[in-house]
Chains A and B, each alone.
Chain A
Amino acid sequence: MRWGMLIDLSKCIGCHACTVACQQEHRLQLGEKWNRVLRVGPYGKYPNLTAYFLPVPCMHCEDAPCVDGCPTGASFRREDGIVVIDEEKCVGCKFCMVSCPYGVRHYNEDKGIVEKCILCFQRLDNGEVPRCVETCPVNARFFGDLDDPESEIVHLIRKKNANPLHKELGTKPAVYYIFP
């Protein structure tokens, strides 16, 4: 089993509800975002301009540089593919922040540790979906098992030709995007 997410960028309206829901779920500080929403564009030439919104959670890479580089073993992959951080082992060296090509890790000054999206594994363990998936008002997020060829998410990835960000880096992310 490998949990993954698919985000349909042609549906995303940039409302930041996922960002706020994530902040509430994990009680994050002001300014700390485990799920940034970037605005891409507008690009093109007037009057044919295009813009879209790009939510950026942790990619939960299969070949995660943050996990390989962590000197204490605090960053590790669970059996279901979710990359998590053991707060007891993290010493705040921040090497994972440097090695993450997506810039999704944040340093918590108060706790002295690095934090990031954990795909709401506490909710998954209770049979629920991640909070951002549940909250999205336009159903732009899909969640499921990437190892199950019959799952909805795998069907959509194939059908819509979805791709991860910066595939060329070879980190094998578990978050896919349907680009507009």
Chain B
Amino acid sequence: MEKRQEYFGALAAGYFFLAAMGAMMFIVAAGLDLTGNAVAELINGWVTLAAAVVTGIGALLLTVELSKKMKFYLVMTKPSSLMGLGSITMSAFVAIAFVYSTTFFDFIPWYPAHGLRGVLAVLGIIAAVVLAAYPGLELGEARGRAFWNGSGLVPLFLVNGAVSGIAGVLLISTILGQAQSPAVLALGGGVLFGCLAVQAVLLAGYLMGVHSSGAEEGRRAVEAILRGSLSAKFWWGVVVSGLAVPLLLYLFGNSPALTVIKAILILIGCACFRCVFLQAGVRRSLPGEENEWMSVEEEAQLGLRLEQRWKEKETWLYGGNG
């Protein structure tokens, strides 16, 4: 029955993943900048530029998902809807992150523009928090889809976004040769470890909470995740790639090569997390919905069979001269 229900597809999952990752990358970088960390001067230009690009790609995925792509601007015309608010925030965030990143490149005329940089860092953090939080609120609006209605969804999405954002910052820092700087080591060490542990606890708590909430569609969703159609993506993607292996890798030190492997595995896990959570939001079934008789294909086949039968009858009645 779930297969006949509507849910967001891979493009929307990709958007949610990339938007959260970009937003959290910016928050980490701007946080380093605002606290006066020296490494910010070395990595923030590229990290925040990547945050803008990643979020922009997410926005493109969202636009591709629309059937009327040239009318994408209409999505920003109703800020009272969460999707409208999210779209406006996303556009503002991409612009802020891009301008902020330019203040770190010495070939830009206004470099270093410390005053502007500080203002943009604060504005960008506000936009990033909204961008990372609104998907959870938006999904929570869908009444009758108990899997998305849990109060723990927004914190879980935020922590998952933080994990992907930190992984993104670690990747770029390693590429820039800053993997061993104290701030980056701390980020990839205790901070990331703590976020992964919190995510594991929140994830287990959320699934158990929804399963025991009493809503039948919530139980169906958790069953699909743990033992059903989404189990491979959940166990191999979210749990093994996104949590277990990165946590185990802490036993083998923090060399740049391990950091890159860890970050890539985490990003795969976070992408799988978004897919699983979007697809698991099944709707409360209506009485008798499980008996819905025919699919479109079955109806078409029945129509063809009927037409064939009518033709046979016509031939029998009129000898093919009807």
Given contacts A30-B303, A98-B142, A112-B68, contact A41 B74 (CB under 8 A): no
Residue on A nearest B70 in the bound complex, by CB? A91
Residue on A nearest B78 in the bound complex, by CB? A73
A65 CB-CB contact with B under 8 Å: yes
Main SS of chain A's interface residues?
loop
Considering the chains assembled together, what is the distance between the CA atoms of A105 and B283 in angstroms?
13
Q: Number of contacting residues on A, CB 8 A? A: 40
Residue on B nearest A111 in the bound complex, by CB? B67
Contact A93 B83 (CB under 8 A): yes
Contact B78 A170 (CB under 8 A): no
Considering the chains assembled together, what is the distance between the CA atoms of A98 and B6 in angstroms?
6
A132 CB-CB contact with B under 8 Å: no
Main SS of chain B's interface residues?
loop
Contact A31 B300 (CB under 8 A): yes
User: Which of B67, B145, B291 touches A113 (beta carbons < 8 Å)?
Assistant: B67
A156 CB-CB contact with B under 8 Å: no
Considering the chains assembled together, what is the distance between the CA atoms of A25 and B77 in angstroms?
32
Which A residues are in CB contact (< 8 Å) with B292? 36, 38
Considering the chains assembled together, what is the distance between the CA atoms of A90 and B71 in angstroms?
9
User: Which of B66, B71, B77, B295 touches A73 (beta carbons < 8 Å)?
Assistant: B77
Contact A101 B67 (CB under 8 A): no
Given contacts A98-B8, A99-B142, A101-B284, contact A71 B75 (CB under 8 A): yes
Which B residues are in CB contact (< 8 Å) with A117? none
Which B residues are in CB contact (< 8 Å) with A169? 143-144, 284
Contact B81 A99 (CB under 8 A): no
Which B residues are in CB contact (< 8 Å) with A93? 65-66, 75, 83
How many whole Å from B41's CB to the nearest CB in chain A? Answer: 39
- The B-contacting residues of A in range 67-108, CB under 8 angstroms, are 68-74, 89-95, 97-99, 101-103, 105, 107
Q: Number of contacting residues on B, CB 8 A? A: 42
A165 CB-CB contact with B under 8 Å: yes
Considering the chains assembled together, what is the distance between the CA atoms of A92 and B84 in angstroms?
14
B72 CB-CB contact with A under 8 Å: yes
Considering the chains assembled together, what is the distance between the CA atoms of A105 and B6 in angstroms?
10
Given contacts A65-B141, A101-B284, contact A39 B299 (CB under 8 A): no
Contact B141 A99 (CB under 8 A): yes
Contact B74 A91 (CB under 8 A): yes
Residue on A nearest B303 in the bound complex, by CB? A30
Which A residues are in CB contact (< 8 Å) with B87? 71
B53 CB-CB contact with A under 8 Å: no
Contact A71 B68 (CB under 8 A): no
For B152-164 the 0/1 string (1 means CB < 8 A from A) is: 0000000000000
Contact B141 A68 (CB under 8 A): yes
Contact B142 A56 (CB under 8 A): no
Which B residues are in CB contact (< 8 Å) with A112? 67-68
Contact A90 B81 (CB under 8 A): no
Contact B143 A92 (CB under 8 A): no
- The B-contacting residues of A in range 125-160, CB under 8 angstroms, are none
Which A residues are in CB contact (< 8 Å) with B202? none
Considering the chains assembled together, what is the distance between the CA atoms of A31 and B300 in angstroms?
8
Given contacts A71-B81, A92-B68, contact A99 B143 (CB under 8 A): yes
How many whole Å from B268's CB to the nearest CB in chain A? Answer: 25
A41-B288, A95-B83, A101-B143 known, 13 other contacts, Cβ within 8 Å: A38-B292, A39-B293, A65-B142, A68-B81, A69-B138, A69-B141, A71-B76, A72-B77, A72-B84, A97-B6, A102-B286, A103-B5, A166-B144
A-B contact pairs, 28 of them (CB 8 A): A30-B296, A31-B295, A38-B291, A39-B291, A68-B141, A69-B81, A69-B141, A71-B76, A71-B81, A72-B75, A72-B77, A72-B78, A89-B74, A91-B66, A91-B67, A91-B74, A91-B75, A92-B67, A93-B66, A94-B6, A101-B143, A101-B145, A101-B284, A102-B286, A165-B286, A165-B287, A169-B144, A171-B143
Chain B residues with a Cβ under 8 A of chain A:
5-8, 65-68, 71-72, 74-78, 80-84, 87, 138, 141-145, 281, 283-284, 286-289, 291-293, 295-296, 299-300, 303
